[in-house]
Amino acid sequence: MTRNPFRYLKTVLAVSALLLISALQPALAAAAGAPINVGFTTDFSGPAATLTMQEAPVVEMIVKEINKAGGINGRPINLITQDNASDPAKAVGNAKMFKEKYDCKVIIAGVTSSVCLALKNWADKNHVPIIAIDPASDRLLVKDGKSWFFRTEDPIFLSVEAALARMKKLGHTRIAFEGSTLAWGTDTLAMIKEKAPAYGIKVVSEALVEPKAKDLTIQVKKLKDSGAQAVFCADYEAETAGLAKAMSSVGWKPYVIHVSAANITSATKLGAPEMFNGWETLQAADISKPLARKVYDKVRAYTGKPVDEDKKVLRAYDAISLLVAALKASGNPDDSTAIRDAFYKLPSYERATGKKGSKGGFVVGKNHLVDLDDEIIYSIKNGKIQPSK
Amino acid sequence: MNNILADIVPILIVGLSLGSLFGLVGLAYTVIINATQLVNFGQGEFAMVAVAVCWASLTKLGLPLYVAFPLAILAGALMGYLTNAAIVTPLLKRDVHPFYPILGTMSVGTIAAGTVGIFTGFYWMPIEHFFGNEPLQLAGVPMDSQGVLIILATVAIVTGYWYLLHKTRLGLALRATGFNREVSLLAGIQVSKMASLSFVISGMIAAVAGVLCAPFSAFTATDGLILGINGFIALIVGGWGNPYAAVLGGVLVGLIRAVIVGYISSAHAELGTFVVLMVVLTIKPQGLFSGFMMPKTMNSRT
């Protein structure tokens, strides 16, 4: 019996063809103008949904603009959007689905720090870059080397330092804290306690409030009775409105600084705006600079709805614009590592957030955009924010 | 003395008002349980729909509160009527296991939340304090006017429900239906109409609770569930099948929450609520106030 030398030829040829097709798939996909899938997980429901109402349309708007202009090297961006309802487990489930079902090589995310802490862990393990719009927690900082997680929001330590400096300047040395029981609130409180002594400020009372708390009267009374001269607030919009209502109901009108301009402008819509008169807030964004004005106008025209003129749409604009810029600069939008590295190759990117003229994407050892001198203090009057004198 | 009053009164007011809200929702559950032996797991969403109607009437239609509030109560009644007519009665007629209509009410609640969510974008539906944000002053102690209103409204509703049950023929028919459905049928009581009425009354009570609660913290389409859960806890802590016990259970839960917030931390209020529930389930599962004012012809596990 003689062996046929061509017995395995068909199998070898078939396997070779398959291997060749797999190797060439990115090039073939690019040549065919196959869409670039980008996952978008954020809070369309849950305690931070109001932020999403302003931010999600910005992401959609920029993606549509890019696609209208021919996409990235002829490939349109396909934005796959999923709600995470401020639930870290849901957010991670979404990220997993983006990667496994849609083969997404990059993800954009919002809103809460709790969600983004889970997403950061996932990104580190799965090597898929994520750029987030809103989270402030310092636990998201990456100080060494390149990161898989980026954000356009200013980290807590920056806003806390800026707020404490403001309180010191105004002569408030005994302060109370009201904040969320979620990571953002607890992290902010920890940072205040660490930094306050350096400013000669003492935290005399604190109230951590769970999301959807119905009545803050008791908490506010405790803060009032502690002899605090001022209140440092780090809470979401509904709870901030609850704080203002409770302050009115116990007849207490201290100086209040809210660490998030985005949340306080939303809060003024949930209660009588005059309750917030005299409060201050801060953000790493100059809402008067030309690019910021241009972004507000574009978003207004796109949605046909009023836009909160604070940092919300600006940080969303920066996040999606940086993602698009990284896809372009990567040279290969089908390679997660190339996209991650490209986030560090955008020195001429003009930021909507930050002070006038601020430029540049991320630098190695820093996975956030802004610095302390980008922080600007605003005062609130009848539901609007304006730079403080 | 004034200092002690100033410390205790806000805790009492918040505890009583929050507890009254939970108690009202517990009462709304009990009204249906007494007439049909069923639990309406869409109860919280009845309240949420009423909030949505009140909010839309105020902000979209520009109606005054004294029109918007009754419209919201009407919406609660309609929700109750439709839930019974479309889901509960047809299923009961087929003599299915009680689990089916209960699941049906849960579906109604989920559909209601989703539908309101489509119209509101799951955005907040804020309603202002009924009498403004300025505090009421009683003996020099400031107190929240909305909280006081909730307590007074709860007293009025419970009194009204007691009057209906004990002083009217309709109330007698309702009690009889709950006591024994078959005997009631033989006595000429239109049992299906009593079931329908219980859903309508329940919807109205839930609507009042929802709209009174909304000024404290704005509702979204998904927030009915939270109120529903707290109402159910009130019902279990107070006493299954006893309308007055459900209210007392709610008040107790509210007071315990307020004390925890006042003397420990608001971050632990939820924990405290569930610890109370576990203690009651372990020590007195029939409820702490199960025998309180319990009408003789009314269902209870005691």
SS3 readout for chain B? CHHHHHHHHHHHHHHHHHHHHHHHHHHHHHHHHHHHCCCCCCHHHHHHHHHHHHHHHHHCCCCCHHHHHHHHHHHHHHHHHHHHHHHHHHHHHCCCCCHHHHHHHHHHHHHHHHHHHHHHCCCCECCCCCCCCCCEEECCEEECHHHHHHHHHHHHHHHHHHHHHHHCHHHHHHHHHHHCHHHHHHCCCCHHHHHHHHHHHHHHHHHHHHHHHCCCCCECCCCHHHHHHHHHHHHHHHCCCCHHHHHHHHHHHHHHHHHHHHHCCHHHHHHHHHHHHHHHHHHCCCCCCCCCCCCCCCCCCC
pLDDT number for residue B301? 45
* Cβ–Cβ under 8 Å, residues A133 and A323: no
Torsion sign (Cα): B112, B113, B116, B118:
negative
Q: Measure the CA angle with vertex A383, ends A380 and A387; round to 5°.
A: 30
Give A333 or B2, the one with higher predicted confidence.
A333
Greatest Cα pair distance, chain B, in angstroms, is 64
Are A241 and B215 inside 8 Å of each other by CB? Answer: no
**Whole-number Å distance between alpha carbons of A130 and A150:** 6
- pLDDT (mean) for A276-296: 94
Helix (H, G, I), strand (E, B) or coil at A173: coil
- φ, ψ of residue A281 to 5 degrees: the values are -145, 180
Q: How far is B7 from chain A (nearest CA, A)?
A: 8
Q: Which of A4-18, A31-45, B130-144 has the highest mean pLDDT?
A: A31-45
Query: Among residues A254, A258, A221, which one has the least CA distance to residue A236?
Result: A258
Tell me if B208 is assigned to some domain.
Answer: yes
**Which pLDDT does position A44 carry in this prediction?**
87
| pLDDT tops 80 at residue A19 | no
Question: What CATH number is attached to the domain comprising B212?
Answer: 1.10.3470
| Burial of residue B278, with CB atoms counted within 10 A of its CB: 0-12 exposed, 13-18 middle, 19 or more buried | exposed
Cα A291 from chain centroid (whole Å): 19
Residues 239-268 of A with CB under 8 A from B: 239, 241-242, 245-246, 248-251
Helix (H, G, I), strand (E, B) or coil at A308: coil
In Å, how far is A218's CA from the nearest CA of chain B?
Answer: 6
Give the pair of three-digit tokens for residue B50: 């009423």
Q: Is residue B194 part of a domain?
A: yes
One-letter identity of residue A244: A
Per the CB < 8 A criterion, the answer to whether B277 and B237 are in contact is yes
Q: Please list every residue in chain B whose beta carbon sits closer than 8 Å to the beta carbon of residue A269.
A: 124, 126
A263: nearest Cα among A232, A224, A292, A237: A237
Query: C-alpha angle with apex A306: A387 to A293, nearest 5 degrees?
Result: 50
Return the minimum-mean-pLDDT range out of A45-54, A294-303, B68-77, B196-205: A45-54
Residue of A nearest to B225 (CA): A212
pLDDT surpasses 70 at A21: no
Q: Could you tell me how far CA A9 lies from the centroid of its own chain?
A: 56
With CB atoms and an 8 Å threshold, state whether A275 touches B13. no
CA angle A204, A205, A210 (to 5 degrees): 155
pLDDT band with cut points at 50, 70 and 90 for residue A365: very high
Q: Tens digit of pLDDT per residue, chain B (302 long)? A: 567 777 788 888 889 999 999 999 999 999 999 888 889 999 999 999 999 999 999 999 999 999 999 999 999 999 999 999 999 989 888 888 888 999 999 999 999 999 998 898 778 899 988 988 777 877 777 778 898 999 999 999 999 999 998 899 999 898 888 778 788 888 888 888 999 999 999 999 999 999 999 998 888 898 899 899 999 999 999 999 899 999 999 999 999 999 998 888 888 888 888 999 999 999 999 999 987 777 665 554 44
Please check whether residue B145 lies inside any domain of the structure: no
Q: B262 exposed, middle or buried (CB, 10 Å; 0-12, 13-18, 19+)?
A: buried
- Cβ atoms of A218 and B14 closer than 8 Å: yes
User: What confidence tier does A22 reach under pLDDT thresholds 50, 70, 90?
Assistant: low
* Confidence tier at A13 by pLDDT (50, 70, 90): low
Task: Please answer whether residues B202 and B97 qualify as being in contact, where contact means their C-beta atoms are separated by less than 8 angstroms.
Answer: no
Q: What total of structural domains would you count in chain B?
A: 1
Residues of A in contact with B144 (CB under 8 A): 215, 217, 246, 249
- Judged by a CB distance cut-off of 8 A, whether residue B263 touches chain A is no
Q: Any idea how long chain B is?
A: 302
User: What pLDDT does A6 receive?
Assistant: 60
Tell me whether residue B62 is in a domain: yes
Please report where in the chains the tokens 């608001």 appear, as a residue: B266
Strands A149-151 and A130-132: parallel
Has residue B134 been placed in a domain?
no
B246 in any annotated domain: yes
Asked if A127 and A337 touch (Cβ cutoff 8 Å), the reply is: yes
Structural domains for chain A: 36-154+288-303+310-370 (3.40.50.2300), 157-283 (3.40.50.2300)
Chain B contact present for A337, CB below 8 A: no
Say whether pLDDT at A56 is over 60: yes
What domain range is B7 assigned to?
2-123+151-283
- Chain segment A178-231, per-residue pLDDT in tens: 999 988 899 999 999 999 999 999 999 999 998 888 788 889 999 999 999 999
> What average pLDDT is seen over chain A?
90
Contact A270 B124 (CB under 8 A): yes
B222 touches chain A (CB under 8 A): yes
Helix (H) or strand (E) holding A48: none
For residue A55, pLDDT over 70 is answered with: yes
Average pLDDT over residues A65-88: 94
For residues A297-315, one letter each, b for 16 or more C-beta atoms within 10 angstroms of the residue's C-beta and e for the rest, the string is: ebbeebbeeebbbbbbbbb
Q: Which residue has the higher pLDDT, A10 or A99?
A: A99
Taking the model in full, what pTM does it have? 0.79
pLDDT in tens, A143-165: 999 999 999 999 999 999 999 99
pLDDT of residue B299: 52
Identify whether the C-beta of residue B237 lies closer than 8 Å to the C-beta of residue B282. Answer: no
The pLDDT value given to residue B155: 97
Residues in B touching A273 (Cβ below 8 Å): none
Taking contacts as CB-CB distances below 8 angstroms, the residues of chain A near B23 are none
